[in-house]
Amino acid sequence: MTITKTIVYPFEPGEPYKDLKAYAEVTLEGVLTIKGIQIYKKSNGAMYIQLPSQVGKDGQYKDLIIAETPAFKKHLRDTIVAAYKAETGEG
């Protein structure tokens, strides 16, 4: 699946969410847009993404979007992190 568009919205939320660095949205194949992807950066410099989720009746977070293969999950993460770095001038 091809990611045809990536938009990053960087911000500094402050405490207690200092690891959250931006929100992102991606468009797949030019026909489906996923919004609400969170970009995190840990104190050691490692970056990761969290796909949209919501709290279920049991109080646990449930993923709304699931990358079905490790290869696509890595591709999605790498694309979003590269767009974040390009937008913010990091790395």
**DSSP structure string for 8-75:** EEE----TT-TTEEEEEEEEETTTEEEEEEEEEE-TTS-EEEE--EEE-TTS-EEESS---SHHHHHH
Q: Determine contact, residues 29/5, Cβ cutoff 8 Å.
A: no
pLDDT in tens, 46-81: 999 999 999 999 999 999 999 999 999 999 999 999
pLDDT of residue 53: 94
Mean of pLDDT over the chain: 93
Could you give all domains of the chain from N- to C-terminal order, each with its CATH number? Answer: 10-88 (3.30.1120)
pLDDT in tens, 1-54: 899 999 999 988 888 888 999 999 999 999 999 999 999 999 898 999 999 999
Tell me if the bond preceding 10 is cis, omega within 30° of 0.
Answer: no
Q: Say what the pTM is.
A: 0.89
